[in-house]
């Protein structure tokens, strides 16, 4: 077990949680009619408990920890006309749907326009950390997308920020309607992205260029 994955949770507390959850999950398997003593299932409650703690480890993390490392872009004319955006696209994520506890996985694309006064920017990898942090919670995709832009707005105070997420929900794939190829798109805009509709078009143009390039 790698406790480094749980920076805010002590190893003792982690073990304690696993110990408490295991008998409950054993019960669930029994209620499904399973023999929990058979070889294939004997360690399943423990693995399942650890997996659940892993899927939700972002609950105990604060986005501030990733957005603290902030650079000031000291170029005189930057950003030029408050329309130059920083884009990180194709951030992969896997999250857990809170209605069915089934995974949903996909990609996030984020752009922000730095504040012309503060000129604050963050490391590009930090944006994927923020996506990861909100993905590792029991989620609905729409809320996750909003939380991503809110965290960026709160900590970087940009002129504007936009996030688009696209995901496949396994609660739809595996059960009920069995739609294997549908994906869900959700967007969140803040700041100048709300007041200037041209900016969203620009963002989409940049994403299209990236997608075309990725074909080579
Ligand atoms: Zn669901």
pLDDT single digits (tens) 55-85:
999 998 999 988 876 777 766 656 556 678 9
Asked, for residue 5, whether it belongs to a domain, the answer is no
What Rg do the C-alpha atoms of the chain give, in angstroms? 21
**Is the domain of 103 the same as that of 189?**
yes
What are the tokens at 35?
A: 């023999």
**Is the domain of 179 the same as that of 135?**
yes
Asked, for residue 2, whether it belongs to a domain, the answer is no
Asked, for residue 4, whether it belongs to a domain, the answer is no
Q: How far is the CA of 101 from the centre of ligand 1 (A)?
A: 7
Let me know if 44 is exposed, middle or buried by CB neighbors in 10 A (0-12, 13-18, 19+): middle
pLDDT single digits (tens) 171-185:
888 776 666 667 899
Q: How far is the CA of 152 from the centre of ligand 1 (A)?
A: 26
**Is the domain of 91 the same as that of 44?**
no
Buried residues in 155-180 as b, exposed as e (16+ CB within 10 A): bbebbbbbbbbebbbbbbbeeeeeee
Q: How far is the CA of 178 from the centre of ligand 1 (A)?
A: 12
Asked, for residue 1, whether it belongs to a domain, the answer is no
What angle (nearest 5°) sits at the alpha carbon of residue 52, between those of residues 49 and 54?
A: 110
**Is the domain of 147 the same as that of 51?**
no
**Is the domain of 112 the same as that of 205?**
yes
Domain of 148: which CATH number? 3.30.1130.10
What are the tokens at 23?
A: 């008998």
**Is the domain of 99 the same as that of 192?**
yes
Q: How far is the CA of 170 from the centre of ligand 1 (A)?
A: 7
Q: How far is the CA of 94 from the centre of ligand 1 (A)?
A: 13
**Is the domain of 38 the same as that of 67?**
no
- Half-sphere exposure of residue 56, counting CA atoms within 13 Å on the CB side? 14
Domain that holds residue 156: 62-213
Q: How far is the CA of 139 from the centre of ligand 1 (A)?
A: 9
Higher per-residue pLDDT: 210 or 99: 99
pTM (2 d.p.)? 0.87
Strands 138-139 and 86-97: parallel
Q: How far is the CA of 142 from the centre of ligand 1 (A)?
A: 12
Q: How far is the CA of 169 from the centre of ligand 1 (A)?
A: 7
- Bridge partners for 162 per DSSP: 111, 189
Q: How far is the CA of 25 from the centre of ligand 1 (A)?
A: 20
Structural domains in the chain (count): 2
| Residue 5's pLDDT band (cuts 50, 70, 90) | very low
Res. 40: pLDDT tops 50: yes
What are the tokens at 174?
A: 């595996």
**Is the domain of 151 the same as that of 100?**
yes
Q: How far is the CA of 5 from the centre of ligand 1 (A)?
A: 26
**Is the domain of 130 the same as that of 145?**
yes
In percent, the amount of the chain with pLDDT more than 90 equals 66
**Is the domain of 87 the same as that of 192?**
yes
Q: How far is the CA of 157 from the centre of ligand 1 (A)?
A: 33
Domain of 17: which CATH number? 1.10.286
**Is the domain of 44 the same as that of 88?**
no
pLDDT single digits (tens) 126-179:
999 999 999 999 999 999 999 999 999 999 999 999 999 999 999 888 776 666
**Is the domain of 148 the same as that of 196?**
yes
pLDDT single digits (tens) 106-131:
999 999 999 888 888 888 899 999 99
Asked, for residue 98, whether it belongs to a domain, the answer is yes
């Amino acid at each position: 077990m790698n406790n480094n994955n749980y920076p805010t949770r002590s190893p003792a507390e982690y073990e304690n949680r696993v110990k408490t959850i295991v008998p409950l999950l054993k019960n669930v398997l029994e209620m499904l009619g399973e023999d929990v003593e058979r070889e294939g299932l004997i360690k399943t409650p423990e693995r399942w408990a650890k997996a659940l703690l892993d899927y939700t480890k972002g609950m105990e993390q604060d986005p501030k920890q990733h957005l603290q490392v902030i650079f000031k872009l000291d170029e005189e004319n930057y950003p030029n006309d408050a329309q130059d955006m920083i884009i990180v696209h194709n951030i992969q994520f896997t999250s857990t749907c809170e209605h069915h506890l089934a995974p949903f996985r996909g990609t996030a694309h984020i752009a922000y326009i730095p504040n012309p006064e503060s000129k604050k920017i963050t490391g590009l990898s930090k944006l994927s950390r923020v996506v990861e942090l909100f993905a590792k919670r029991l989620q609905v995709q729409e809320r996750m997308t909003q939380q991503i832009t809110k965290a960026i707005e709160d900590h970087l105070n940009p002129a504007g920020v936009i996030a688009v997420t696209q995901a496949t929900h396994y609660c739809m794939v595996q059960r009920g309607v069995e739609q294997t190829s549908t994906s869900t798109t959700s967007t969140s805009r803040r700041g100048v992205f709300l007041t200037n509709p041209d900016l969203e078009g620009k963002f989409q143009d940049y994403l299209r260029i990236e997608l075309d390039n990725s074909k080579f």
